[in-house]
Amino acid sequence: MIEPQFPKAYDFNNFGVARVEEIVGKYYKTGIINKKGEVVVKPKFVAISAFDKNGLAVAGYGGVPTKFGVIDLNGKLVTTQAFNYISHFHEGFAHTRNKEGYGYINENGQVEIANQFIKSGNFSEGKAYAQDAETRRFGYIDKKGEWVIEPKFSRCLDFKDGKAVVFQGNKRAGLIDETGKFMIEPSINQMLIFSEGRGLVMDYSNGFYYITDQANIYDGFYEKAGKFENGIAVVKSEGRWGIINQKGIEIIPPKYDKIEEFEDGYARVRISGFNGLTNLKGELIVQPDYEYISYAGDGLFRVEKDDKIGYYNMEGGCVWDLRE
């Protein structure tokens, strides 16, 4: 469909365009093509992120240091000023950084919250953590930039399921609800995340374990462990990876060399150097026979082995046998 001609190219998105790189002068520049291979945006940007569901992407441009703005599908800048950094959009906002500090822009590229914080995070459940310039403490702001949970913590994490992990000191973690009330007082060393009713805690002596929102230790220790997502978590025990549910029951006994975090209901598993694919029920939908597996879009997974490529669908059916 499009002859090989680019040093690097990315997948087409739902808007029918793809990012490509070309050498301009001495440097690689990124542009955009359509499905006919026609140039939509000349390769003039230092980099372009993947376009989001609104057809917007973060783009780097200019010399050194690189400046960042938000562009539309035609490569037009929708931001009204340049920034030193722009995150991806979350809940309609992206946090930005300039010499004044961190702030936020909306999806039209307009500044919604002035750059005034020492640090800030993405919006999650209507709130974002931010570090106050005067007190140097962390709290949570709303989408107007006003404090809804006063800055009194040494560190904060994103809200999830109406709860957030906060710290007093470097290691003493607690759990607050959406009003800022403590559900668990800051007393737990190294709580990494809290999701789906379980907090993941790292213990230097015994490994990883889970707690409830009443701070009760929940069913055993693991060498390594991940957050709960869709009711399950990946854990490592006796050198092998498996999957447990929220009751600690093994859905997949520890038998894999590696299980990656679930994404859109699927996770890659590895055994003896080869990769397969499992679903949320712990069922292998693609046997671990391949050197590499990746999501290709449109409900298809791309598999690679011995310089050959094939495709599977989400039910594990082969739609394209391995071929060069």
What pLDDT band is residue 203 in, cutting at 50, 70 and 90?
Answer: confident
Q: How many CB atoms lie within 10 A of CB 45?
A: 24
CATH topology for 154-256 is Lipocalin (2.40.128)
Q: What is the mean pLDDT of residues 130-150?
A: 97
Q: How far apart are CA 276 and CA 289, in angstroms?
A: 6
Query: Does the pLDDT value for residue 298 go beyond 70?
Result: yes
How distant is the alpha carbon of residue 125 from its chain centre? 16
Query: Does the pLDDT value for residue 144 go beyond 70?
Result: yes
Query: Does the pLDDT value for residue 304 go beyond 80?
Result: yes
Query: Does the pLDDT value for residue 10 go beyond 80?
Result: yes
Q: How far apart are CA 117 and CA 120, in angstroms?
A: 7
Beta carbons of 161 and 197 less than 8 angstroms apart: yes
How distant is the alpha carbon of residue 171 from its chain centre? 24
What pLDDT band is residue 218 in, cutting at 50, 70 and 90?
Answer: low
Condensed to tens digits (0 to 9), the pLDDT of residues 183-202 reads 999 988 888 899 998 999 98
Q: How far apart are CA 307 and CA 227, in angstroms?
A: 34
Kindly report the pTM of this predicted structure. 0.83
Condensed to tens digits (0 to 9), the pLDDT of residues 44-78 reads 999 999 999 889 999 999 888 999 999 999 999 99
Q: How far apart are CA 285 and CA 266, in angstroms?
A: 9
CA distances from 34 to 1, 42, 70, 235, 264 (A): 11, 12, 20, 43, 27
What pLDDT band is residue 252 in, cutting at 50, 70 and 90?
Answer: confident
- Sequence-distant (≥ 6) Cβ neighbours of residue 64 within 8 angstroms: none
Q: How far apart are CA 308 and CA 295, in angstroms?
A: 16
What is the model's pLDDT at position 169?
85
Q: How many CB atoms lie within 10 A of CB 274?
A: 16
Query: Does the pLDDT value for residue 216 go beyond 80?
Result: no
Q: Which residue has the higher pLDDT, 246 or 303?
A: 303
**Sheet bearing 318-323, strands edge to edge:** 292-297, 300-305, 308-313, 318-323
How distant is the alpha carbon of residue 256 from its chain centre? 24
> 158 is written with which tokens?
């994103």
The neighbouring-strand residues paired with 129 are: 140
What is the model's pLDDT at position 164?
96
Q: What is the mean pLDDT of residues 19-34?
A: 94
Beta carbons of 320 and 310 less than 8 angstroms apart: yes
What is the model's pLDDT at position 189?
83
CATH architecture of the domain covering 262-324: Beta Barrel (2.40)
Work out the burial of residue 148: count CB atoms within 10 Å of its CB; fewer than 13 is exposed, 13-18 middle, 19 or more buried.
Answer: middle
Query: Does the pLDDT value for residue 171 go beyond 80?
Result: no
Q: What is the mean pLDDT of residues 255-279?
A: 89
Task: State the average pLDDT for the chain.
Answer: 91
What is the model's pLDDT at position 212?
87
Percent of the chain at pLDDT above 70? Answer: 98
How distant is the alpha carbon of residue 81 from its chain centre? 26
CATH 2.40.128 residue ranges for the chain:
154-256
Beta carbons of 56 and 68 less than 8 angstroms apart: no
Q: How far apart are CA 303 and CA 322, in angstroms?
A: 8
β-strands 300-305, 250-256 pairing: unpaired
Beta carbons of 247 and 259 less than 8 angstroms apart: no
Query: Does the pLDDT value for residue 204 go beyond 90?
Result: no
CATH 2.40.10 residue ranges for the chain:
262-324
Beta carbons of 201 and 188 less than 8 angstroms apart: yes
Beta carbons of 141 and 95 less than 8 angstroms apart: no
What is the model's pLDDT at position 294?
87
Beta carbons of 280 and 249 less than 8 angstroms apart: no
Host H or E run for residue 64: none
